[in-house]
Structure 1
Amino acid sequence: MRPYPRPMTRRPLIAVLTGAGISTDSGIPDYRGPNGLWQRDPKAQELVTLGPYLADEDVRRRAWLMRRDAGALTAEPNAGHRALVELAARLPVRVLTQNVDGLHQRAGLPDRKVLELHGSARRVQCVRCRRYGEMSAALARVAAGEDDPPCRECGGILKPATVMFGERLDPEVIGKAEAVARACELFIAVGSTLQVHPAALLPQIAVESGARLIIVNAEPTPYDPVADQVLREPISSALPALVATLTE
């Protein structure tokens, strides 16, 4: 691995790709790690897969209970999220996140600096009329006794405003993320297995465009051999330390 930091002289932009690992210290479990949700309950994946979700009312009931109990809307940003706010206050930064929890914005990053590749779990969308609403309002209906709350406008099925398995990512969002990866001088991947495409291609685009790569993740990733630096320490301590180094 090449030592870092080196002087950043070519392009000032820093791209940060964040995955589920950055939010585990906020109480939101990851999916694919050794103790991830899919490992503990493989059947849970159908709750976020479009086909079963639309076809089976029981799947939707279970999905609403999962959202109610997950506590994602009450989770608070942790030191890793706050470190990226500090970095963005000192240097040009764009955060490309695979997460849907909105914790980067809650920590203080403006919307314009965050690209939510997989959408947002803080909103719902009707699959029929495509209107959006607040997830908190839908969960309040669940708490009041509606086990599968329909759209209030047209009666259609409500789903989280996220990209479920079986759905394509928004090509406009992915296009913007790829442009950031091509333009950056430094690409930092935080808490991501770097195995889910097309987001997993972003580090490759950055490296092939001449950017340096830092990986902060507890488990090995496919990009470790080409990274300038790999940090295995806990994200909530490693990321603030990295940011302090970059901003000195």
Structure 2
Amino acid sequence: MTDSLATSIATLQNMVREARVVAGFTGAGISTESGVPDFRSPGSPWMRNKPIPFDVFLESEEARREAWRRKFTMDDLYRDARPSRGHLGLASLIASGRMPAVITQNIDGLHQASGIGDERVIELHGNGTYAACLACGRRHDLRWVRSRFEETGDAPVCESCGGIVKSGTISFGQAMPEAPMRQAHALTMSCDLFLAIGSSLVVYPAAAFPMLAQRNGAKLVIINREHTPLDEAADLVIQAEIGPVLSTFISQP
């Protein structure tokens, strides 16, 4: 660890200590250490298996079949993923009471796997660990969905009402979930320290939360491997791997 990185981590630790309410906000970068590929790295498998836009998914049975094929291809790539040091660091901050919840753009369920309760994970883009009927809302286990898909080659329909079954993620063109957006806004407006972690901060409306927090008086910290459009406005930027930075918050047994 370089002297400059050690100094930045020490500054971050002081900011967390002095904060009344810390808001966490995570993007794909926190999960790359877990083996989950991000969208923008060169050669990303997401570019070969792009999510199907919502309107196309609704209109075409063929598109629904292709969407499930791509979904299961990606699931197989990171089926053994486990929470990273970054996830565990945030779980410790939540357990300590300093961070009420974490807002995430991720769909991998690794925050919950790190020990954070569902009620403390605000998922802006849904969750890819289950499926749901778009008509009646019934949840469907992905193992059932996959078995039906592999047996018949068709996109499964709801066991209850026959409606279209879709992964629990929010697709391009699909409306943002109202309750998580309200929860994210409330946490953003109540915090005095906002940690933006592993996000490119270019996907809106989610990327609006960091600046909203800062305009409301909170300090803004950005932790990311790459430059983001908000770096110049942030109170602290740590351009480094996330694991070594957040591992300093992991509670010792």
* TM-score interval, smaller chain: 0.7 to 0.9
CA distance in structure 2 between the aligned counterparts of 1:76 and 1:10, rounded to whole angstroms:
31
Is 1:75 the counterpart of 2:81? The answer is yes
Give the aligned residue type for 1:27: G
Taking only the aligned residue pairs, the percentage that are identical comes to 37
Question: Structure 1: where are the runs of 5+ without partners?
Answer: none
What is the aligned partner in structure 2 of residue 128 from structure 1?
135
How has the CA–CA distance of structure 1 residues 35 and 231 changed in structure 2, closer, same or farther, with 3 Å as cutoff?
Answer: farther
Q: Quick one: which of 100, 111, 124 aligns to 1:117? A: 124
Q: Which residue of the partner structure matches residue 5 of structure 2?
A: none
Q: Which runs of 5+ in 2 are unaligned?
A: 1-7
Query: Would the alpha carbon gap of residues 11 and 239 (structure 1) be closer, same or farther in structure 2, given more than 3 Å must change?
Result: closer
Distance 1:143 1:209, change over 3 A: same
**CA distance in structure 1 between the aligned counterparts of 2:16 and 2:28, rounded to whole angstroms:** 28
The alpha carbon displacement at 1:106 in A equals 0.8
SS at 2:87's partner residue? helix
Secondary structure in 2 matching 1:165: coil
For 1:73 and 1:55, locate their aligned partners in 2 and report how far apart those are by CA, in whole Å: 29
Alignment of 1:28 onto 2:32: no
Q: Is the CA contact (8 Å cut-off) linking 2:87 and 2:110 kept in structure 1? A: yes
Q: 1:22 to 1:10 in 2, by over 3 A?
A: closer
1:180-201 CA distance string (max 9 Å, x none) = 1111111111111111111111
CA 79–10 in structure 1, closer or farther in 2 if over 3 Å, else same: closer
Contact 1:10–1:185 (8 Å) recurs in 2: no
Q: Counterparts of 1:24 and 1:7 in 2: how far apart (Å)?
A: 25
Q: Equivalent of 1:192, from 188, 199, 208?
A: 199
Q: 1:138 to 1:189 in 2, by over 3 A?
A: same
Question: Which string of whole-angstrom CA distances, capped at 9 and with x for unpartnered residues, describes residues 144-179 of structure 1?
Answer: 444411212222221112211111112222121111
Q: What CA RMSD, in Å, does the superposition of the two structures yield over aligned residues?
A: 2.5
Contact 1:16/1:96 (<8 A) preserved? yes
**Aligned match of 2:98:** 92
1:218 alignment counterpart:
225
What are the Cα deviations for residues 102-127 of structure 1, in whole angstroms up to 9, with x where unaligned?
A: 11001101122111111111121222
Say if 1:28 and 1:70, in contact at 8 Å, map to a contact too: no
Structure 1 residues 8, 24: CA separation in 2 closer, same or farther (over 3 Å shift)?
A: closer
Q: TM-score, normalised by structure 2?
A: 0.85
1:159 is paired with a residue whose SS is strand
CA distance in 1, matches of 2:199, 2:169: 18
Aligned to 1:162: 169
